[in-house]
Amino acid sequence: MIKYIQIFYGVPELDKMILGIHINLTHKIKALKYAKYDQVNIVVKNGIDGKIETLGISSRICSVNIETNVSLLKDASYSELCIKSYSLAETALGELWKKKQWDTSDIDHVFKDIKRENFECNIIYFKRVKSKDSKISAELILNVIKDKATFFLRIFDVNVVKELKVISTIANPVLFSRFFHNHFWDKENIYVISDKEREIFIQCDIYNSSVEVKFEERTFKKSDLKSFFDLLFYEDGVDNSLKLYQLPLI
């Protein structure tokens, strides 16, 4: 499967705005297991609209160059940028699929879904699981707009569906895969998200609609926690967050 898809305009203010598109495309294309690349880079260059070139860098990384009038996009609205970016991605991936002799109808279906969802990035990050007493179930949803990501729980309680915000942060799929790696019910009302090593726990209390961060009882290296606090408290800064939690550090 393709592990990650990126679109590059080479214009920082544009590239920052489309992080949600990277995440959404990767999520959709990952389902096509036969497509095997670690990464596909769609490089948008300023030029004739629609001109395309496929470059096989290696068996693991592929780059597709496609041209458009990038200067016109600098003044585009976020909605217009999304529509244009998805259109360029559809053309680029369609060309790659043809070159690899893969089923192009799969690409058609992917982009039909994206259009049906109004180009929004709303992903079921963790599938729905039941609590220990099976009375409640929940799924973790990831929503990305521009470069801001919000995780929230969608909770199913008898005939009631409600939502609990877990975190709003910078869109960073690499950190997501590390710190949002496991999920489980601790009690009938506590839904837990943990890191890969099960040392950092985000505990969501369904009854009290509260979210709390817990740490394994050990001494942490400050450098080990920097990435997590960059993710969890990117607006407040790492040092303030470490003081808030008064963790034993070395």
What is the per-residue burial (b if ≥16 Cβ within 10 Å, else e) of 237-249?
Answer: ebeebbeeeeeee
| pTM, full prediction | 0.83
CA 35/CA 201 separation, integer angstroms:
34
| pLDDT (tens digit per residue) in 3-37 | 899 999 999 999 999 999 999 999 999 999 998 88
Residue 205, in any domain of the structure: yes
Same domain, 186 and 163: yes
Residue 94, in any domain of the structure: yes
Question: Is residue 198 pLDDT above 60, yes or no?
Answer: yes
Same domain, 174 and 133: yes
H or E segment to which residue 102 belongs: none
Q: What is the pLDDT of residue 229?
A: 67
Q: Which domain holds residue 75?
A: 2-116
Same domain, 126 and 233: yes
Same domain, 213 and 190: yes
Residue 131, in any domain of the structure: yes
Q: Give me the number of domains the chain comprises.
A: 2
* 174-to-166, 171, 181, 246 alpha-carbon distances in Å: 18, 9, 11, 26
Residue 250, in any domain of the structure: no
- State what percent of residues in the chain have pLDDT above 90: 54
Give the relative orientation of helices 238-245 and 222-232 as an angle to the nearest 10 degrees. Answer: 110
HSE-up of 24 (CA within 13 Å, CB side)?
A: 26
pLDDT tier at 168, thresholds 50, 70, 90: confident
Which segment of 44-53, 142-151, 157-166 scores lowest on mean pLDDT? 44-53
Average pLDDT of every residue of the chain: 85
What is the per-residue burial (b if ≥16 Cβ within 10 Å, else e) of 136-166?
Answer: bbbbbbbbbeeeebbbbbebbeeeeeeebeb
Lay out the sheet containing 2-8: strands in order across.
Answer: 2-8, 37-46, 61-68, 52-56
| pLDDT (tens digit per residue) in 105-154 | 999 999 999 999 999 999 999 999 999 888 899 999 999 999 889 999 99
Same domain, 148 and 170: yes
Residue at a domain's end among 116, 148, 172: 116
Same domain, 131 and 214: yes
Bridge partners (DSSP) of residue 157 are 136, 160
Residue at a domain's end among 83, 101, 116: 116
Q: Are 204 and 164 in contact (CB under 8 A)?
A: yes
Same domain, 91 and 29: yes
| pLDDT (tens digit per residue) in 83-108 | 999 999 999 999 999 999 999 999 99
Q: Torsion-angle region of residue 7: left (phi > 0), alpha (psi -120 to 50) or beta?
A: beta
